[in-house]
Structure 1
Amino acid sequence: MARLFVALEIPAEVASRLTLHRGGIAGARWIEPADYHLTLRFLGDVDRHMARDVDAALSDIAAAPLTVTLDQLGSFGGDKPRAVFARVQPTPQLSELQADLERAMRRLGLPPETRRFTPHVTLARLRETSPLDLADYLARHPIVQPIVFTARRFAVFSSRDSIGGGPYLLEAAYPLDPFGGFAPMRARRR
């Protein structure tokens, strides 16, 4: 079985800009820039038969390329911080793509996603980081000018069964094309 998720890739030049925010906080385990992504739908452990069904369902999704804007750093976990992320401005197009993916996966019988979709790019996982240290870090690391890119495809990635999951492997990619009629681009493994 493979542990899979559907995501937008982060271009190398955007990842490079995000790395400027690395460091300066105790208890952080920084994500490798090559592993930055915007998760659209976690699929979990999927056998080969379901993976083929997922591939067919994803091939049927038609959406236009998306403008993605990262505008500020934030954190998850409240009083027990567990992650630092770059926030992605929600847009109707991004929400619609995510909802289409959710509906397609539910039709296949995968359990519904229980967490509300909060578009973000995880930069670090935190362990035993104090909320005060985190607040200080966030105050010192603003995204001064929003980082904007165009997502021209979404992809399925596999991850290891470990904390943080990386490194992630590209399994298949699906062009964002409002006209449909496309076949998925296969990655190196199948």
Structure 2
Amino acid sequence: MTRPPDPAPGERPRARVYFALWPAPAAARRLHKEGELAHGLTGGRRMRRDTLHLTLAFIGDIPRERLDELRAAADKVAFSPFTLSLDRIAGWRHNHIVWAGASELPGELESLVTQLNAALAAAGFPVERRKFAAHVTLLRNARGELPAAELDPPVEWPVGDFVLVESDPKPEGAQYTVLESWPGTTGAPG
């Protein structure tokens, strides 16, 4: 008996979603190259260049009817465009992840995350209680240890918007679809 094909993401009754920053091509290429270098030291599964992102708020699996509530919450967020300087690479032993991150977060990023979490909580969505850990996952299932190191030069990532993304888990790795984006505005609180 053959199994029917999985429905396309938009045809499923539920959506697995999150808000994120999505890098411009130049930043994605550089991050992917750093993942390749780290892979030589730790092994594991490299993230595909087209899937690299920085999660702002993970929502999880929700009924598709609630997507408009997420959009309405995101509509309440105002931020100024900024540059994120990713200047560190390290590994987390507890979950075998190698990541790139920033030693200092721009105030605009902190404001964006704070506003987004407040809007999500007001709309009845659960929000992360732990301190925001801005990172881009480069490798999963890393086997060796990667000591923290500086990225020299840092990856300069111009951030002009944030996005709502749907994740479609697959055996070869998740497929991501950007559902909508919200641009930053000059003069927004930061």
* TM-score (norm. length: structure 2): 0.81
From 38, 42, 61, the equivalent of 2:58 is 42
Checking the alignment, whether the CA contact within 8 Å between 1:125 and 1:164 is kept in structure 2 is: no
Provide the aligned length of Structure 1 versus Structure 2. 171
Between the aligned partners of 2:173 and 2:186, the Cα distance in structure 1 is: 32
Between the aligned partners of 1:153 and 1:20, the Cα distance in structure 2 is: 24
Pairwise CA distance, 1:179 = 5.6
Match of 2:3 in 1: none
Match of 1:18 in 2: 31
1:83 aligns with 2:97: yes
Pairwise CA distance, 1:60 = 2.2
Checking the alignment, whether the CA contact within 8 Å between 2:20 and 2:54 is kept in structure 1 is: yes
Match of 1:169 in 2: 177
- Please give the root-mean-square deviation of Cα atoms over the aligned residues, in Å: 2.1
Pairwise CA distance, 1:162 = 5.7
From 96, 105, 126, the equivalent of 2:111 is 96
Pairwise CA distance, 1:73 = 0.4
Residues 17 and 92 (structure 1 numbering): CA distance in 2 closer, same or farther, change over 3 Å? same
Pairwise CA distance, 1:94 = 0.6
Residues 125 and 145 (structure 1 numbering): CA distance in 2 closer, same or farther, change over 3 Å? same
* TM-score (norm. length: structure 1): 0.81
Pairwise CA distance, 1:164 = 9.2
Trace 1:1-190 onto structure 2 (pairs within 5 A). Answer: 1-21=14-34, 22=36, 23-77=39-93, 80=94, 82-88=96-102, 89-127=104-142, 129-131=143-145, 134-135=146-147, 142-161=150-169, 166-178=174-186
Between the aligned partners of 1:107 and 1:99, the Cα distance in structure 2 is: 12
Between the aligned partners of 1:113 and 1:17, the Cα distance in structure 2 is: 29
Checking the alignment, whether the CA contact within 8 Å between 2:20 and 2:57 is kept in structure 1 is: yes
Q: Structure 1: which 5+ residue stretches go unaligned?
A: 181-190
SS in 2 for 1:114: coil
SS in 1 for 2:45: strand
Same amino acid, percent of matched pairs: 29
Pairwise CA distance, 1:168 = 1.1
Checking the alignment, whether the CA contact within 8 Å between 1:62 and 1:179 is kept in structure 2 is: no
SS in 1 for 2:41: coil
Pairwise CA distance, 1:18 = 1.8
Checking the alignment, whether the CA contact within 8 Å between 2:82 and 2:106 is kept in structure 1 is: no
Checking the alignment, whether the CA contact within 8 Å between 1:5 and 1:157 is kept in structure 2 is: yes
Between the aligned partners of 2:165 and 2:116, the Cα distance in structure 1 is: 14
1:63 corresponds to which letter in structure 2? F
Residues 82 and 114 (structure 1 numbering): CA distance in 2 closer, same or farther, change over 3 Å? farther
